[in-house]
Amino acid sequence: MRVVFLSPTYPPEMIEYTRGLAEVGATVYGVGDTPLEALPSRVRPYLHDYLRVPRIMAEDDVIERVSTWLRGTTVDRVLSNWEPLVILAARLRERWGVPGMSVDAVRGFRDKQLMKERVQAAGLRVPKSRRVRTEAETRAAAEEIGYPLILKPIAGAGSADTHKVTSNAEFEAVLKAMRGVPEASCEEYIGGEEFTFDTVCIGGKPAYENVAAYLPKPLEMRTLEWVSPVIITVRDMQQAKLQGGIELGRKVLDALGMGDGFTHMEWYLTPKGEAVFGEIGCRPGGAHIVDQMNYTNDIDLFREWARVSCLGKFEAKSPRKYNVGIVFKRARGEGKITRIEGLGAWMRECGEWVVEEKLLRPGTPRRNWKHTLLSDGHVLVRHPEWDEAHRMSFAAATGIKMYAE
């Protein structure tokens, strides 16, 4: 089977999906804007061929270049697991008559307002929202929806340029901050807990399901520098409080016409116990959530996604064994990391339950925490009992400290 895989090396986890494709027997044709000589050595064994394009986001140009490159070659699948490229993958499929989700179906997972309209049309609870392109439209939508509200890009990802607004003063400041965003969604703010609903689907039906808890909510993770964001996958998917969200997620997949592959949905559980849709992408979640799911079940979802995408089969046994917590750390100060405190004590206390420790080392420049949830590295811990996984995760969040200057 010949597979065109868009951006096989960026973000870095795409190397694992490239590996998965090769391991299930696919002949992988990579397309990206990384120069050939700069391809990581890890990915090279998994690529049959590679086309470097000037700008991977320039859809029309990429379509023409790739079509010329592969003229006379039968292509069986066109795939992408990076949010900005899912429409391009669909356009290539339609151009070549390759099986897979259509542009219209994929747009429902990419355009946040269209997404909510289609989900609401299926009778499911979504936040009240409006598409806005101008300041006048934004003011009218804000007056209709009322505070608190959320303003975010129509085609954004990862809470980037997403703002909670609670007053007129905040509204005016956010309007200025978002002047470079051509199209946004103005929507009702939903209080309560926030969870994910992640799947690997075959024909729109989940072959694998996952729920993870955001602690705190992603918007707070992205706006409070002192917070060490924590995400914990849930071992017990049968608990009553999650059933509304899982049922909601399955119905959303039907409403949006999901095909094969990963989905990553976010939903809210209100204080009254109502499950409310947030948003969804027809791609995996970022920030190592696939690694968390792999540790939850002791499986390889990079390979299973490839098997589903190419062969329509999910073969891994997937009993849920652990609650898995990831903790993203942010150094205090600016410049280069100078020291880490509390890490050794935490690792000794948690012992065998620590499965990854990938904090930036002294001498390494700090990352911009506003641009990446990955911040200055992470630790990853798992345990069969939720309370223990939660305790160890928050011990890392409060007890490990990083400093920069």
Q: What is the pLDDT of residues 76-90, one digit of tens each?
A: 999 999 999 999 999
Q: Rg (Cα) of the chain, in Å, rounded?
A: 21
Minimal CA–CA distance to 322: which of 349, 351, 292? 292
Distance between CA atoms of residues 405 and 391, nearest Å: 30
> 197 and 244: one domain?
yes
> 304 and 365: one domain?
no
Q: What is the pLDDT of residues 293-351, one digit of tens each?
A: 999 999 999 999 999 999 999 999 989 999 999 999 999 999 999 999 999 999 999 99
Quote the tokens at residue 392: 């160890």
CATH number (domain holding residue 94)? 3.40.50.20
> 198 and 311: one domain?
yes
Q: Which residue range forms the structural domain that includes residue 8? A: 2-100
* Helix, coil or strand: residue 246: helix
- Predicted pLDDT at 159: 55
- Predicted pLDDT at 60: 98
Q: What is the pLDDT of residues 181-233, one digit of tens each?
A: 889 999 999 999 999 999 999 999 999 999 999 998 888 887 788 899 999 99
Q: What does each C-alpha distance from 373 to 105, 159, 284, 294 come to in angstroms?
A: 28, 9, 15, 20
- Predicted pLDDT at 225: 85
Last residue of a domain, one of 319, 345, 365: 319
**Does residue 43 lie in a domain region?**
yes
Q: What is the pLDDT of residues 256-293, one digit of tens each?
A: 999 999 999 999 999 999 999 999 999 999 999 999 99
- Predicted pLDDT at 160: 63
> 89 and 51: one domain?
yes
> 312 and 327: one domain?
no
Distance between CA atoms of residues 140 and 145, nearest Å: 9
CA angle at 398 for the pair 394 and 401, rounded to the nearest 5°? 130
Which residues, in sequence order, are CB contacts of 299 under 8 Å at separation 6+? 293, 316, 317, 318
> 208 and 311: one domain?
yes
**At 35, phi and psi to the nearest 5?**
-60, 145
Q: Taken in order 209, 201, 152, 371, is the CA torsion positive or negative?
A: positive
Helix (H) or strand (E) holding 276: strand 275-281
Distance between CA atoms of residues 91 and 98, nearest Å: 10
- What predicted TM-score, i.e. pTM, was given to this entire model? 0.92
How many Cα atoms are found within 13 Å in the side-chain-facing hemisphere of 387? Answer: 0
> 144 and 208: one domain?
no
Last residue of a domain, one of 302, 319, 336: 319
CA angle at 96 for the pair 93 and 100, rounded to the nearest 5°? 30
Quote the tokens at residue 102: 């259509």
